Amino acid sequence: MKKLFIGMILALAPLATAFAQNVLGEWKLSTGTAIVEVYQDGDVYNGKIVWLKNPTRPDGTPAVDHNNPDAKLRSRQLMGLNMLSNLKKDGNEYTGGVIYDPANGKTYYCSMTVDGDILKVRGSLDKRGLLGRTMEWYRVK
């Protein structure tokens, strides 16, 4: 009986690891200002803003993408905005995508890795990720 129990634990351990490493779901930015839902669309992973600490401007209207370099996009709402696009799973990493920062209106190359309940998001100026920074986002439970 003891061997059976140990065997079951060993058999289920990879499933627990796979679940813990799942990128899908909601992640809170380390600044606490937003929650991004990472979702899969075919073979790519994207992320959209689903919660904002300050969802409205002082006049009560929805927060918009006012820093976007494209004047036509400055009136789009931040809530629901896709800020992660086209990441593809590559082993334990998600690469080849971009991240848009509505705070400055810039788009960066992006890669991500999951470490338990921490999503390490790297935005960079170059595709190899040498000129950039890594942010930690925290899984929302």
How high is the pLDDT of residue 126?
87
How high is the pLDDT of residue 20?
42
Amino acid, single-letter form, for residue 115: D
Q: Could you tell me the domains of the chain?
A: 23-139 (2.40.128.520)
Full-model pTM = 0.83
Q: What is the residue-level pLDDT of the chain in tens, covering all 141 positions?
A: 545 344 434 444 444 334 447 999 999 999 999 999 999 999 999 999 999 999 999 999 999 999 999 999 999 999 999 999 999 999 999 999 999 999 999 999 999 999 999 999 999 998 877 889 999 999 998
